[in-house]
Structures are given as structure tokens and as C-alpha cells.
Amino acid sequence: MRLENFKTLTWADFFLYSIIDPRALMRRIIQREPDPFWLSFVVPAASALFSMLTLSLMGRQSSFFYHKMSYGWIFVFMVTIVLVFVYSSMVDAVAQAYGLGGRVKHLIPLINFSFMPQLFILPALYPFIVGNFAPFFFYVAASIAAFIWRILIVVQGISEMHSIDFGRALVIFILPAVALFVSLFLALIMLVTMIVSFLS
Amino acid sequence: MERERKLTVAILAMLVLVAIIAIVDITLKIEEKTSKEKKFIIPSTAGVGIVRVDGPIELSGPSNLFGKPSGAEAIVRRLRELEDDSNIKAIVVRINSPGGTVAATQEIYNKIMKLRAKNIPVVASLGDVAASGGYYVASACNYIFANQGTVTGSIGVIAYSPNLKRLFDKFGIQMNVIKSGKYKDILSSHRDMTSEERMLLQNLIDSSYNRFVKDVAIGRNISQDEVRAIADGRVMTGEMALAFKLVDATGTFEDAVDKARELAGLPVDCPVYDGSSSPIEEIFGTMNGIFKGITGSELYPSYKLEYRYMP
């Protein structure tokens, strides 16, 4: 991003619209003024950082925190990016199967910006952590709320991108999500089986 | 629109600020916790040091996942560290052990006797079991506390090996033994023991037993006859041991710490330095061996004389 673009604060629109108007966000992504592709990766990076901070605040503090924040953060960010790429490709493939145009370069920034609600979990939860007032309950509640909010952002974005109704956009969203969830679940089972058999 | 953009930037700045506050918050908590832990591990003012004798006593126990050694050598090393530290004015030895090999037990006993000679008071606190070699170690201390229900005593020596001759005969298995001397395969499991071998081993056992009785008598400052009267391998509770003068008082670990403070002339609120591991080390230390298979060394018989209580 050029410095003049940075000064005009046009980049801030992506963050603003991801919160208040996902359809407008999708329109801005398509317009590419400025190109949000690389900027959008700031959000999953920050989301990984904030998630680890939140869990560290609620858990038992030890010097392992510094490893979590360095190696752990890089690891979580990389895994998130891989999942974003895989999921975007899958959504694109499903959209094409429905006879819609494939625009994976627009989908990746959309999914990246959809991580925005997760950034608000930490500030929302901080008073409960400091006051030790059922922090785990509120963490779970806030995480569920942020997850639903993320789904709404992505579905509305897909709906705007392909000019289709919300219901069809939801189907395009859900099919790859289910496939990805099942694949990850099976991979996890295989990994656990492998580790246990290796150790024993 | 300009105003909304500035508001968005302000929100993003606020998020960054929250992240920084969280990092500082966690860092401060870690610092506080670390300094608190260090305070009880690294002596900074005059206090009481703790040494723990847990499980069967062997010269070199297995290292945990962090490479921390265990066994008598580690215990002696810990005692030496406390001896060298000018802030350690008294030591409490917490014993929870059924005993172990003769040499390993004597190493710890002799080290404690050296500390006593240097006028460092050593108080023993007996846990669930402090029998045989576990009691041998305790007897070196200036003062011994046992809980009423502690299993202690079992003064004696044992050596054993299975006799599998009948089993071997049943399956038609014969061992080919080529040896340099007639006693080289003493305690062999594939044949009966000869009377000569039994006598030889009995002498060995008696020698170690006499050493045990003598050392207990020295440590407890009682006559060998008094020790021999109860040194028939019997186990007893802490209360019974008190009646037989094997312990000085019944009491808890805290009582032992208080006694150590008293013997060293330390104030009642002086710190206690426990060299226990960090929580992570403890977790991995506990896990150590869970996934361990049978190693080669466990398949081969080893001849050991033991000061050990074997229920």
C-alpha cells in the first residue's frame, strides 16, 4: 500500500465495513481501491494474537507465555492462512458448480476481514477477567457470538459478490465448511492415533 | 466519511492498546509469580532447607524429561548445595521411602552425619513409609518426627532371587554355565542354592545388618543392644517407634520445620527453601515412564543387598 493511500485512510473503510456493512465491504473489495489483498492478512494475524492473549489471561500464567506469543503466534497464523486459502478455494469451487463466476481473489480478503469480530472478544472480556466474574462463561458466549457474526459477514459477502439471495449464499458457505470440518476432524483422529501408537 | 474513517482508526488503536495492556498485565503476573517461586527455591535470607527422599533408594535413579537426576546421588548433591549455602541454618529431610540398596542408603546416611558434625541441625520428618533404609537415613538426623500412622522400623537386610529350577525342569530347559569360580553364579535362578553359598550370603547379610545396627545406635545415641532387641525386621507405627526410642516425637512435616528452626535458633517465621521442581517439570516428571516399555536392564537379574521393607 502506498503512503498517500495510507494517509487518506481509505484502507480504514475495509475494517469499518467488515463490522457494519459486509455487503459494502464486498463492493470495496471488488473495486480494489486500494487493493485490500495484503492488508486483509493483518486481521487473521491480529486475531491469532488476540486469541492467545485472551486464553493466556484466563489461564495459568507462566514463562511459557513468551513461547506462545512468538512461535505459537506464527504457527497459529500460518495454520489460519492455510485454512483461509483452502476454504476460499472450496467456496469458489462450490460457487462454480452452481454456475457462478469464480473469484477467489475476492474471497480471500473477505474471509480474512471476517475475523474482525474476534478482535473484540478480548476488550469485551477484559472486565470479566479482571473482576474474575465467570470469565470462561463469557469467553464461550463471546466466542459463539463472534463466530455467528463471522458467518454473517462471509455469507453476506458471498451474496453480494455473486448477486444471489442470502439462502443460496448460505448453502455455498456451508458445504465447504462441512467438508473442511469433516476433513480436519478425520485428520485429527489420524494424528492422535498416530501419536498414541508411536508413544506406546 | 472522513469522520467515520477516523473513528475506525481510533477503534483499531484502542484494540492495539488493549493488546499491549494484556501483554504487560501477563508479563507482570509472570514476574510476580517467578520472583515468589525463586524466593522459596534460592535462599536469600537465613532459613531452613528441605531435602526429599522419595521412593526406593538407589544410587542413580532415572533422570526425568528435563534431565534432572534422581536417586541417592541427587539427594547427596542437594545436601551439599544446602551445606555450601551460608543462608541454610538447618535442614529438614522429608522421608517417604521403603528403603533401598545398601550403598546408596549409606551414602545419604554418611552425608547427613557430616552435616551434623558441622553443627548444622538436621531434622527428619517421616511420611507414609520410612522403613528399613528409609529409617536408616532418618537415624542419622539430630531429631526424628514420625506421624502416628507412619510405617517405620524394618531394621534388617534382605537379598533374594527366584528359584526356577522346577519350572526349568518341567520345560526341559538347561543352562550352560561356564564360570571362573564356584561362586560366580551365586543366587542363580536355575538351580538350588548350596549350603556353602547360603552361608556365604548369610555372612554378607550379617555384615550389612551389623553395620545397620551400629549406625542406628550411633545416630540415635542408644546402645546396640537396644537396637538389636527390635532389629528383627519388624515394622511398626510412628507411635510404637516412639516407645522403642526409634523416633523422638510424633508430629507432622510442619512440626519438623519448627523444630529445625528451634535447633538452629531461627525465628519462627524464617523462610523454608524447598528445591521442588517447577509445575511444568512436575507434570512431565509425573508423566515420565508412562509410555516407557520394558528396557533391557529390567530383563536381567541384578544381585542387590537391600535395606528394604518388602510387604
A69 contacts chain B (CB < 8 A): yes
- Measured CA to CA, the distance from residue B277 to residue B24 in angstroms comes to 26
Q: Are A125 and A119 in contact (CB under 8 A)?
A: no
Each residue's pLDDT tens digit, B292-302: 444 434 444 44
Average pLDDT value for residue range B142-149: 94
Does the pLDDT at position B281 exceed 60?
A: no
State the best of B2, B7, B8 to mutate against chain A, taking most chain A CBs within 10 Å: B8
Does the pLDDT at position B280 exceed 60?
A: no
CA distances from B265 to B49, B88, B125, B252 (A): 14, 12, 19, 20
The helix, strand and coil proportions of chain A, stated in percent and rounded to the nearest 5, come to: 85, 0, 15
Strands B47-54 and B272-274: parallel
Contact B6 A63 (CB under 8 A): no
Average pLDDT value for residue range A179-193: 92
Contact B22 A61 (CB under 8 A): no
Q: Which of A44-58, B269-283, B289-303 has the weakest average pLDDT?
A: B289-303
Each residue's pLDDT tens digit, A82-123: 999 999 999 999 999 888 877 888 999 999 999 999 999 999
Q: What angle do CA A46, A52, A56 make, to 5 degrees?
A: 145
Q: Give residue B299's pLDDT.
A: 40
Q: Is residue B195 exposed (0-12), middle (13-18) or buried (19+ Cβ within 10 Å)?
A: exposed
As a whole number of Å, the CA-based R_g of chain A is 19
- Tell me, yes or no, if B304 is annotated catalytic: no
Residue type at position B180: S
Q: Give residue B298's pLDDT.
A: 42
Does the pLDDT at position B155 exceed 70?
A: yes
- DSSP string of B257-279, one letter each residue: HHHHHHHHT--TT--EEE-PPPH
Length of chain B: 311
Query: What whole-number percentage of chain B has pLDDT above 70?
Result: 83
Q: What angle do CA A28, A29, A35 make, to 5 degrees?
A: 105
Q: Which of B38-42, B47-51, B220-224 has the weakest average pLDDT?
A: B38-42
DSSP, res A89 = H
- Measured CA to CA, the distance from residue B250 to residue B45 in angstroms comes to 29
Whether this model's ipTM surpasses 0.95 comes out as: no
pTM of the model: 0.57
Chain B residues closer than 8 Å to A56 by CB: 22, 26
CA distances from A169 to A87, A92, A132 (A): 15, 12, 40
- Tell me, yes or no, if B132 is annotated catalytic: yes
Chain A residues closer than 8 Å to B34 by CB: 63
Provide the pLDDT confidence category of residue B67 given band limits of 50, 70 and 90: low
Each residue's pLDDT tens digit, A51-74: 999 998 888 877 788 888 889 899
State the best of B6, B14, B18, B287 to mutate against chain A, taking most chain A CBs within 10 Å: B18
Each residue's pLDDT tens digit, B184-200: 888 888 899 999 999 99
For residue B106, the tally of other CB atoms under 10 A from its CB is 21
Mean pLDDT, rounded, of chain B: 85
A132 contacts chain B (CB < 8 A): no
> How would you label B146-170 residue by residue, b for 16+ Cβ within 10 Å and e otherwise?
bbeebbbbbbbbbbeeeeebeeeee
- Measured CA to CA, the distance from residue A117 to residue A120 in angstroms comes to 6
- Measured CA to CA, the distance from residue A152 to residue A154 in angstroms comes to 6
Provide the pLDDT confidence category of residue A49 given band limits of 50, 70 and 90: very high
Q: Which of A30-39, B54-63, B151-160 has the weakest average pLDDT?
A: B54-63
- Which residues 6+ apart lie within 8 Å of B107 measured at CB? B59, B72, B73, B76
